[in-house]
Amino acid sequence: MKKFEVGVIGATGMVGQRFITLLADHPWFDLKVLAASERSAGKPYSEAVGAKWAMKTPIPENAANIVVKDAVKDMAEIAKSVDFVFCAVDMPSDEIITLEQGYAKLECPVVSNNKEHRLFPDVPMLIPECNAEHVAVIETQRKRLGTKRGFVAVKPNCSIQSYVPALHPLKEYGISAVLACNYQAISGAGKTFETWPEMVDNLIPFIKGEEQKSEIEPMKIWGELKDGVIVPAEKPVITTQCLRVPVSDGHTSAVFVKFDRKPSKEAMIKAWAEYKGEPQRLGLPSAPKQFLNYFEEDNRPQAKLDRNLENGMAVSIGRLREDVLFDYKFVCLSHNTLRGAAGGGVLAAELLAAKGYFDR
């Protein structure tokens, strides 16, 4: 199979660095272009990223010497030279919309980690194991943008990527209400303990805009395709609290759930153990073999022990028990910059590639 040539926009950022690490040795994707702001443009990647490199492994050889481009000024040249781009940038919202639609209109598909396009009804927002069928709306989007190839596909917010996967196989029991308290790692803010020392021995009970995203985005993931667009689900009612905690990587969620038809505990654990999505059926390279993993031990999942399960792409679940207000409560965990960001982006791109959306 011919490899697709790819670019990373926002390559010097926390998510961009993860993309570069994941693309160092990818069987389908070949890293060709790196782009960031004008501050980084014109410098070799290793110099542009400098001390901001936050990954545990060194900068991959295939990236270190690539001269970084300006994501805005060099857009036409970048769009022409790759098959698609990943995008994760920190820019004002209106500029992100212009940037992503700009690449799409230049016939360069965009797989984005940014929030700006998430609620467009003709933009698929993918957790590939849960809503792979939503890629079909790309045809409607291409008509709106006037493109043959170009489109934007997005990934949802990292905060929902443990409890939405965990609840997904339980939908057949009619999920009516969900309360999720999310304990979110500092890498979700693009930070490390070196760059955010105030987080050592601390907890901050506010993450701007996060609770709204955590409550709204699952409804789109569980939405139905109708007349070429995604119509959000109306159930369940979801309420969340999002707290920043002193953990480097890994978002943990304490979930309470109420059903129309209460399943047994055994049925829930069996549903998790047996669940397979489109990535597992297609054998996508980044797909975890076992997507949902239930731990019987009382003290699991733990961020430090379990976030890297299946290369950080699996979701860990534990402490399932009955609740006095809801039917059940449990705890779940996913790696926020792998499953929740760059890894989820790469898996979404693999799904799009497998379905022919990057073909010329």
Q: Is 10 among the residues that bind ligand NAP (CB under 6 A)? A: yes
Distance CA 214, CA 241 (A): 9
- Of 117, 134, 168, 251, the active-site residue reads 251
158 given a catalytic annotation: yes
To the nearest whole angstrom, how small is the minimum distance from the Cβ of residue 345 to ligand NAP? 9
To the nearest whole angstrom, how small is the minimum distance from the Cβ of residue 49 to ligand NAP? 7
Instruction: Determine which residue in the list 90, 133, 172, 198 makes contact with ligand NAP, applying CB under 6 A.
Output: 90
- Give the SS3 label for residue 175: strand
HSE-up (13 A, CA, CB side) for residue 124:
28
Sequence-distant (6+) residues with CB within 8 A of 304 are 247, 250
Residue 102 or 188: the one with the smaller Cβ distance to ligand NAP is 188
Q: Is 340 among the residues that bind ligand NAP (CB under 6 A)? A: yes
- Binding segment for ligand NAP (CB under 6 A), chosen from 56-64, 103-111, 336-344, 347-355, is 336-344
Q: Is the preceding peptide bond at 236 cis, omega within 30 degrees of 0?
A: yes
Site string for ligand NAP, 33-62 (x = CB under 6 A): ---xx-xx----------------------
Q: Is 21 among the residues that bind ligand NAP (CB under 6 A)? A: no
DSSP 79-139: HHHSSEEEE---S-HHHHHHHHHHHHHTT--EEE-SSTTTT-TTS-B--HHHHGGGGGGHH
Q: Is 187 among the residues that bind ligand NAP (CB under 6 A)? A: yes
Residue 187 or 293: the one with the smaller Cβ distance to ligand NAP is 187
Residues 285-324 within binding reach of ligand NAP (CB under 6 A)? none
Cβ–Cβ under 8 Å, residues 86 and 19: yes
Closest residue to ligand NAP, Cβ-based? 13
The first and second tokens of residue 84, run together, are 């698609």
Nearest to 352 by CA among 87, 266, 344: 344
Q: Is the preceding peptide bond at 44 cis, omega within 30 degrees of 0?
A: no
Residues 95-134 within binding reach of ligand NAP (CB under 6 A)? 113-115
Residues 59-88 within binding reach of ligand NAP (CB under 6 A)? 71-72, 88
Distance CA 215, CA 211 (A): 6
332 given a catalytic annotation: no
Question: Which residues are tagged catalytic?
Answer: 158, 251
Task: Give contact residues for ligand NAP (rule: CB under 6 A).
Answer: 10-16, 36-37, 39-40, 71-72, 88-91, 113-115, 158, 187-188, 190, 336-337, 340-341
